[in-house]
Amino acid sequence: MGKRTSFVPLWILLCLLAFAGCSGSGTPAGPSSAAASDAGSAPSAPPWPAASVPVSAPEQAETRKEDLSVRAVGKHPAGQLLVKPASKAEVVPLRAPSCYGQETDLSWRGDYEALWEPSSGGEVSNIMPFPADFEIIQRDDTPLEMQPFRFGETDLFAYVPRYTDCHALETYLFGVSGGEVFPVTFELTPERIWGQIDQLPNRRFKVIGNELIVTGGYGAGQDYINMYHFRYDAKKKSMVLQQTDLVKPNEIEFDD
């Protein structure tokens, strides 16, 4: 018997070749294939702006403005005390109501100082710098008039940079006497002297006789509020503490 020769029909061979060609065009399996798949699934929309450029943030919608204007005045026959920036300051509306003020109130921040401008037209002198990044909050842009009062031969001016607050209003005093203008300190003890004092919002200090009475600030968890009684010492240029009363919060009578 002769040897039989095997053969594959032509149509089967053509199908096998076509199938092999289609398989060969695919991407081989492995890490590079996964990376290509991830890249292909990325959205075609452009990416969001970088986080450092919040184009839609409400606080950026209204630009801060430079404002070098006088923010407070203490009027005296010999001249006037001024609160104004030493070099830079900005103003912006609060934009939202809170215990710091209403949404239309204005907030200033900058490097402020207290100055004395004599009525005689002499040189303006620096009385004291305020803390760095000093903040002022008022209802409008009208310069605030400092509250004047007098002890003995010294005319005093109280400056409160914010008209309201959550806990306490920082308060500064300045004195004018004998042709001299100066900041007035608060002496709790000879070793403990403050450059300013905090007073309770809606409970402004009172001058009764020869005493300055200040109701201190209040925070959560306090059982009592300090009520300070000071007397002015002209030699020290300081309000010297005489006594401190402890008052329950519900016993405080607030201003109208």
> Which tens digits make up the pLDDT trace of 16-27?
444 444 444 443
* CA-wise closest residue to 173 among 146, 191, 200: 146
Question: Residue 180: what pLDDT?
Answer: 96
Question: Residue 58: what pLDDT?
Answer: 53
137, 170 contact by CB (below 8 A): no
Residue 38: its H or E element: helix 31-40
Q: How far is CA 109 from CA 62, 68, 92, 196, in A?
A: 16, 10, 9, 18
Q: Which amino acid is at 218?
A: Y
Residues of the chain short of pLDDT 70, as ranges, are: 1-63
Angle at 210 between CA 153 and CA 154, to 5 degrees: 20
Question: Residue 65: what pLDDT?
Answer: 94
Question: Residue 62: what pLDDT?
Answer: 57
Question: Residue 255: what pLDDT?
Answer: 87
- Is the pTM here over 0.85, yes or no? no
Question: Residue 59: what pLDDT?
Answer: 55
Q: Which residues contact 241 (CB under 8 A, 6 or more apart)?
A: 186, 187, 188, 189, 228, 229, 230
